[in-house]
Amino acid sequence: MTEAAEAGPERHRVFFALWPDEATRSAMSRATRAAVQASGGRPIAKDRLHLTVAFLGELTAAGVAAARSVPPIEIGAFELTLDAIGIWPESRVLWLAPRSLPAPLEALEAQLWERLAAHGLEAEDRGYRPHITLARRARPVEAEVVPVQWRVEELALVESFPDGRSVYYEVLERWPLAGAE
Ligand code: 2AM
């Protein structure tokens, strides 16, 4: 038996997310640049900005395969208005978020977990707070944001990998939210 096998099966840190296109990422970055700077925090690179829908944690390869089998979820494309910016003092995360949870996003999150449950995967019991992390180790800031409009058309399964003091992400697979015509 190899050392790796003795140490147990390899784990993959994965999550379902909404992954913005280049134009939306740029709009997010422009709209939040001043707040990020004022917060003094460590910014998340523009190409890593995303909104997590369901965090699955550390899965085995079989767990990842189960997660991949869950979509598509055909709730249709929807508009997300990112019009709130703030900080969670306990985690020192500066975030961009929708002021209210849009019904399609709520439905997407609920349907994902309903189907994931059939594979023995369960959400942590701390409620869903959709957000895009903009910076870590941030100080509180008083900031307004020019709302960013995001037309969400896809769901992505993403894996995160350690990258020094940060992490980088690889989109494993994408599914359209709209059903086949
Ligand atoms: P964060 O940016 O607020 O840390 C990959 O780590 C993604 O999953 C990030 O969007 C991260 O949110 C989120 N995440 C990490 N741990 C989580 C957890 N225990 N519950 C929900 N989301 C989590």
pLDDT digits (tens, 9 = 90+) for 14-54: 999 999 999 999 999 999 999 999 999 999 999 999 999 99
| Enzyme catalytic residues | 50, 131
Judge whether 120 and 70 are in contact, CB under 8 Å: no
> pLDDT of 153-176, one tens digit each?
999 999 999 988 889 999 999 999
Q: How many CB atoms lie within 10 A of CB 37?
A: 12
**Residue 6: pLDDT band by 50, 70, 90 thresholds?**
low
Pocket test for ligand 1, best of 11, 15, 116 (most atoms within 8 A of CB): 15
Upstream peptide bond of 102 is cis (omega within 30 degrees of 0): no
Question: What Rg, from alpha-carbon coordinates, does the chain have?
Answer: 17
What is the number of the ligand 1 atom nearest to the C-alpha of 52? 10
Give the pLDDT confidence of 50-96 residue by residue, as tens digits.
999 999 999 999 999 999 999 999 999 999 999 999 999 999 999 99
Q: How far, in Å, from the CA of 115 to the mean position of ligand 1? A: 20
Helices (H) and strands (E) in the chain, counts: 4, 10
Alpha-carbon distance values, 99 to 79, 154, 168, 172 (Å): 13, 21, 27, 29
* Residue with the larger pLDDT of the pair 7 and 153: 153
